[in-house]
Structure 1
């Protein structure tokens, strides 16, 4: 990653980090699910929406947690 990309990430991450994390607890998971619900309300089916990729990332994080930590969903 180039230095300017790191600088941009450092400038943005403090605002984003409370919204976006790898879930390790049920509380983290519930937070991400609520955030995904709000993103879905905003983005809908619009794949060109600026937040569409963020919605996809949050969905992947939720799916990972469910696959690893919610046995009844893995079956």
Structure 2
């Protein structure tokens, strides 16, 4: 069995780029481990937390996408 490193709340917050308070306030919703009274996060926990918060752009709706180049070009004459 291979063990990955455990990170304390402070270390995990630094790696994730968030406040320690965010992690402690949201422990019920975030993957973590409790060993005795110590709360720790391993690499898998941090990866899962990042994925939980990842936002991907929505696909453009077909009816809203420009259908021709004329729809993209500005209308009217350009000022010189």
Q: TM-score range by the shorter chain?
A: under 0.3
Larger proportion of helix:
1
TM, length-normalised to structure 2: 0.21
* More strand per residue: 2
Q: TM-score, normalised by structure 1?
A: 0.22
State the structure with more CA Rg.
2
